Each structure stands twice: as C-alpha cells, then as structure tokens.
Copies of this chain bind each other. A is one copy, B any other.
Amino acid sequence: MENHGISAPVNEVLPCLTQLISLDGVTGWPPANAELMHAVSIGMPSSPTGTNDALFVHLDEAVAGDGNPSYSKPPPEAAKFHPQPMPTEEDHHSRQHHASVQDKRFDSFKTWSGRLERQLSNLRGKPRSPSPDEDDGTAAHGPEMNLPVDRYFDALEGPELDTLRASEEIMLPEDKRWPFLLRFPISSFGICLGVSSQAIMWKTLASSPSTEFLHVSTTVNLVLWSSAIALVSLVFLIYFLKVVFYLEAVRREYYHPIRVNFFFAPWIALLFLALGVPPSVTERLPPALWFVLMAPIFCLELKIYGQWMSGGQRRLSKVANPSNHLSIVGNFVGALLGASMGLKEGPLFFFAVGLAHYTVLFVTLYQRLPTNETLPKELHPVFFLFVAAPSVASMAWAKIQGSFEYGARMAYFVALFLYFSLAVRVNFFRGFRFSLAWWAYTFPMTGAAIATIRYANEVTNVMTQALSVVLSSVATMTVTALLVTTVLHAFVLRDLFPNDIAIAISERRPIKTNMKWLFHLGHGSPDTKDIQNYLKFNCSGTKVEVDAVNTNDDSEMAVELERKR
C-alpha cells in the first residue's frame, strides 16, 4: 500500500491517519517520527504531483477506456490507495472532464444501456472485460446493489428526505437538468389522489340528502372524474416508461424510506377512480375489478409490513413516518370500495389488517420515538395524512356494518379531532418548499369532507351541514391552490420536476468532503458523525479504534488514537 519502508501497523493506519490529521500545522500535532511526517505530506496540497490526481486519472481511464463502467462516480475505495488531495483547481479541471462525459453518467440508471446491457451480454457468455472496474475495487458495488436505508438517512435531509446534505455528493451531474423520466418521481401519483378524491367528494355532495340544499350538479363529478382518468393514465404511462428505461431509478425510489410508501398511491388512485365513477358512466362495477385492484396492494403490504416486523434496517421504529399512512389507508379504501360493491369477507379482511397495523402505526407516530429518524422535527403538511386513515375507516366500517353506527362514528370523530388539532397549528406549516408530494396530503382533507357529509346524512342538523360545507370548501380551495401552484411551477417557473436528488445519492460517503471536516478538526468543531461514517466506510481494518454510537438524534464518537510517542 505504501511505497516506503514503514513498519507494519503504521502502514495499515497511514491512509486514514493521513486524512484524519493531514493539517499538522493547524492542529499543532507534531508527528513523532519522520516516516509518519512523510506519509502526512503525501496528502498535503504542497505535494501536487502524481498521487494527487491519481483518483481522477483512474476514473477517467475507467470511463474512457472501458466504455462501459458500472458507474462513474468517484469510487471511495480509491482513497485507500491514493491519499486524497485538497480540492485544487486541477480537481475542477478533472470535474469538467467529467462533465464532458456526463452522458455516460446516466448510463448506470438506464435499463438498456449500461448495467442491463452488460448483464445481458454476460448472460450470452461474453463478459465484457470488467478488469478496470475490479482494479479500483468498485466492481462489487455497482448501483445494482441495494442501497442500505442508512445511506438515505445519512445523505439526505428534510421532511421528505429529498435534500442533499452539505457534505454529500451525488452520482449524477448537479449542474444540468436530467432526463425528464429521471426527474419524474413516484410522488407524482399524489396528483391523481388529489383529483380523484375530489371527484368522489363532488359525487357525494351531489347525491347526499344532507347537502341537497346546495344543488350541486353531477356534472362536476363527471368532469373531475374524466380529468382524473386522463391524469392517472398519463402519470401511469410516464412512470411505466421510467420503469422501462430507468429501472435503477425506480429501484432507488423503492428503497427510499419515504418514497416507498408512495408506491401505494397508484393503486389507491385507481380505487378512488372506482369509488368516484359517475352514476352516468356505470352504477355497478364488476366485483372482479375489486380483486384485481387489491392484489398489488396486498402484495405490497406483505412486503412493507413484513419489513417493519422483521427487524432489518427498515424496522418500524426506524422508518416510522406520517407517509406510512399511505401504506395503511389502501386497506380502508379497498374495504370501502369492496363493501360498496356488496362484497363481505374481502373488505372485512382488509379492514382488519388495516386496523391492526393502523393501531401500531398510530401509537408509534404519536409516541415520537427518538429512533424514528425520518419523522420531521416540526409539523409539516405530511401530517395531514393522519386524518386520512380514520376518515376512510369510518366510511368503510359504515358500509361494512350497513349503517353509520358507533364504530364508524368513533373513527370519524377521531379523524375530526386530528383535523382540528392540525388546523389550530396551521401556522406551523409555513416556510416549507413546495413539492409535488403535497398533492398526496390533500386527499385526507377531501376524505374528511366526504366522511363529514356521510355523517351529516345520519345526524342532519345545521352544525353538521355547515361543517360539511366548510370542510368541502377547504378541501376544494386547497386543491385549487395547489393546482395553481403546480401550474405556476410547471409552466412559469418551469421547475415542477427538479433534479430528483433522492435517487442519485452515492453509495458511500464521498471522500472529497472529508477534507471539509479535516479543516474543522483543525479548528475545533469536527462533525463527529462525518468522521465516524468516514472511518466506518474507509478505514475498517486499520488500527484507529472507533467506538461509534448512534443515539437519540445525534451521534457520537470517541476516537482512541494510540499515539506512539
């Protein structure tokens, strides 16, 4: 590993020490022997030649020479062999070099160009010289590897885990707009949820005795439902193209601890469409449709709930987040649709499964365990998802039981209380960046409005009718406001689909940023988590002993450097 005559243990630890303590002048830490001094100087900007750009030379070779690298991000393993330089101008130079080959960068996400093509050719018995990859040790870590959930937590921040942390780098070019499909997130199905639930609401408004006095036309339902059909078709089509052309990007969304819940959204949107079907189109849907629609939800649930329980990285105490409600609410929507169709056992099955897991999720979210890494620190629109499950459960139970009896009312009242509880905190919701996912947070309001109308049909008086009108108005206004905002972002600001950072995080903490905290270290406030992660990923097997603990929200490290005087 080293070229000079350094004794065994020192040799092992040197590459890490080099990066840990490369600024001896600043830290005032005098290495006690000349060899170490030399080792340190390797990593210093004052020795610019040779090793300095080795990594990038390496990479460029990999990219240019092979023409088919598994992916082209700077492989962190290289650090072991080439002490990392300070970000010099030569770096920028090599970066521009990267930019010039950036089309290659997207290859790793492309289904048909990079990875898969090679896999196919491998299947045909012609392995395409993987030697350059193996040389720099990245062969085993192509993007086809499932990203561990911790990488998402480490690399991203924000209530939707979609903002890159300062210390991170991404695998795709940051400076230019990516292909549209790569920027089209699964959360786009939230729009479908928002619009199709509105179609149900206006159908209910038009057909309910308690809101007869409003004389709502059924045309509104028809128009909204048709729009929803068109929208759902469009979004399904585009996302299907993404699946076809950028499977890796879809996989990364699926492994994203927040995004995975949005994989329920397409099927819930279809259930909403079935629920909101205008009477003029059809009065009776075929029961077989219900089974077809529930099948994907059932499979997803087996997968997701199993992950919660089975104790891996994605256990509930770690990933619990209001967006998990999306993975619960499908049960109740399905139960509602099935019971509306006259089915009995199937709806009850999903209602029971939903109720059991909703209890778990409700308690877990309410407890705000310190281990819930994804739970937003403050209130956020996503909290409105809290209202969704009890609203829909209330209607589902009413349909199953045949009347809006005590159980249904209690679920409705819980939804109403949570709605109030969030509404009085509405001032907390300012200052968040707009995102497409907000659409998904509107359907709970619509659901609460529909449940209120159903309740008002049972308990008809001025107060319930007023509440129906108020909640329906709020829901419609919210959707309208979001529609305007979305159109604004789509056609005026033209940033409705920004680069989807969440899918482009690198599999390892990048090396270059480590330099940043090395400076910090010199100045007294190291981000210990950085150090810890860095050491965890890059220095395992060396002599530096790191005892790292992940505690409540912050993490901590005690580095026991055993100095050889």
Contacts and interface: CB of A to CB of B under 8 A. Distances in A.
Interface stretch (A67-75, A171-179, A223-231, A521-529): A521-529
A50 interface: no
A560 B559 contact: yes
B524 A545 contact: yes
B562 A565 contact: no
Contact of A370 (B356, B371, B414, B557): B371
A365 B309 contact: yes
Contacts of A368: 308-309, 311, 315-318
A118 to B, nearest CB: 29
B310 A30 contact: no
Q: Which of A1, A365, A379 lies at the interface centre, i.e. has the most chain B CB atoms within 10 A of its CB?
A: A1
Contacts of A375: 311
A524 B406 contact: no
A414 B526 contact: no
A35 interface: no
B524 A352 contact: no
A494 to B, nearest CB: 35
Contacts of A362: 356, 359-360
Nearest to A411: B352
B28 A9 contact: yes
A564 B560 CA distance: 16
Task: Count copies of this chain in the complex.
Answer: 3
Nearest to A463: B345
Interface string A512-549: 00000000000011101000000000000111010111
A57 B379 CA distance: 46
A549 B554 contact: yes
A316 B370 CA distance: 10
B410 A305 contact: no
Contact of A424 (B302, B370, B401, B525): B302
A417 B328 CA distance: 14
A311 B377 contact: yes
A164 interface: no
B356 A360 contact: no
A349 B413 contact: yes
Nearest to A26: B9
Contacts of A562: 27-29
Nearest to A322: B309
A416 interface: yes
A409 interface: yes
A283 interface: no
Contacts of A412: 352
Contacts of A349: 413, 416-417
A483 interface: no
Contact of A410 (B315, B352, B370): B352
Contacts of A551: 549-552
A3 B28 contact: no
B424 A306 contact: yes
Nearest to A526: B545
A119 to B, nearest CB: 24
A420 interface: yes
Contacts of A560: 558-559
B1 A348 contact: no
A436 to B, nearest CB: 24
26 contacts: A9-B28, A9-B524, A27-B562, A28-B564, A30-B565, A32-B565, A309-B365, A309-B368, A310-B379, A311-B376, A312-B378, A315-B367, A348-B413, A349-B413, A349-B416, A349-B417, A355-B410, A363-B363, A367-B369, A371-B552, A524-B542, A547-B557, A550-B552, A551-B551, A557-B558, A565-B565
Given A9-B28, A345-B459, A359-B359, 5 more contacts: A311-B377, A320-B367, A352-B414, A360-B366, A547-B558
